[in-house]
Structure 1
């Protein structure tokens, strides 16, 4: 990745107790999104609640370059922007990956797989093979598959070893379609590819 390459920023935000960004606190949340979308180099954004835990918000921002993201975080108003964010959320986790993805804005349900401590060969071999196997299947409800490499080093657990990481995004029409896929031959014959050459995987929806 070069500093001028398009990039996606994936932000995980944990809502404070009692905060509802869909109703009572929607104006503050709208202002946060408006500020982001008005920045130079901004391309698009999309967000949604985590299915397993609706108090966790996933925000994906596509930038023209990583440098544009850095310019935003060093702007004079960024401190006050963070204060607005802190009024709604307890913690914010951010990492970036490339190439930028678009599934989150196009499909009802996105399964996100993070691969930790991936070997240099894993992305071009195992992850690509698994993604291609899913893409070429005739699985009901499948809406798309995308992969990417994480810019920062990530650790699976707080305080754990950090290293190279990759992302896999699978779009589904419904959670039921995702669950049904796990019973197919395509899944069972290829899931082993994700269990080799890395330090563990994490699946979320």
Structure 2
């Protein structure tokens, strides 16, 4: 049984400050973090709000195994816990959750960078073995080149992996590739993307869906 990370994307209603414990949503989030910290089978948890969109919340839990998470989900109090989490979600948006075997595990070094780039690349299931793996290889090649060239602002910390589960979107099934990439700042990432090293090594494979954002992760 290998350690795994639960990756949750929670789009909350616009204007809600999820870290404000004086409002119901903030109280739910605070309780989720406290419960997650001591849940049997959890070794670490992390949370962050996107720099680009304060309504986008990321919650991660390192579990001893998927089996440990499933055991926790079978506890009698879990449905109430899950319902409280769903109460924060903007019903017009798509919330997602999956398990990822990150390499390296745990992903904490990348997550504890001053700023973490959150790259989420979706591929149709049937395209993972060719286009998906080529995209992953291209990203790793790019990041290795940035590290070798000591490009300013890149911390050299990265952790990535594929979702264990298939994720439904618009009636289609996808696999999700997630990469957490460490930067000194959002501006540093922007500057690095204009360097010759970046432009000469950036991959050419386009995912079916891709999102890139930034956040500063913390652990309760």
Alpha carbons of 1:22 and 1:125: their partners in 2 closer, same or farther (altered >3 Å)? Answer: closer
- The equivalent residue for 2:100 is 97
- The equivalent residue for 1:149 is 162
Are residues 1:132 and 2:159 paired? no
TM-score when scaled to structure 2?
0.78
Alpha carbons of 1:153 and 1:83: their partners in 2 closer, same or farther (altered >3 Å)? Answer: closer
Runs of 5+ unmatched residues, structure 1 = none
2:210 to 179, 187, 201: 201
Alpha carbons of 1:131 and 1:151: their partners in 2 closer, same or farther (altered >3 Å)? Answer: farther
Are residues 1:119 and 2:129 paired? yes
TM-score when scaled to structure 1?
0.83
Distance 2:209 2:183 in 1: 23
How far has the Cα of 1:137 moved from its partner? 2.8
How far has the Cα of 1:46 moved from its partner? 1.1
Is the contact made by 1:10 and 1:58 (CA closer than 8 Å) also made in structure 2?
A: yes
- The equivalent residue for 2:52 is 52
Output one character per residue of 1:27-81: Cα deviation in whole Å (capped at 9) or x when no partner: 4322111112222110111111111110111111111111112122222111111
C-alpha root-mean-square deviation of aligned residues, in Å? 2.4
Runs of 5+ unmatched residues, structure 2 = 215-220
Distance 1:145 1:109 in 2: 12
Aligned residue pair count: 198
Alpha carbons of 1:53 and 1:180: their partners in 2 closer, same or farther (altered >3 Å)? Answer: same
- The equivalent residue for 1:162 is 173
- Equivalent residue of 1:90, what SS? coil
Query: Whose relative contact order is higher, 1 or 2, with alpha carbons under 8 Å and at least 6 apart?
Result: 2
Is the contact made by 1:47 and 1:104 (CA closer than 8 Å) also made in structure 2?
A: no
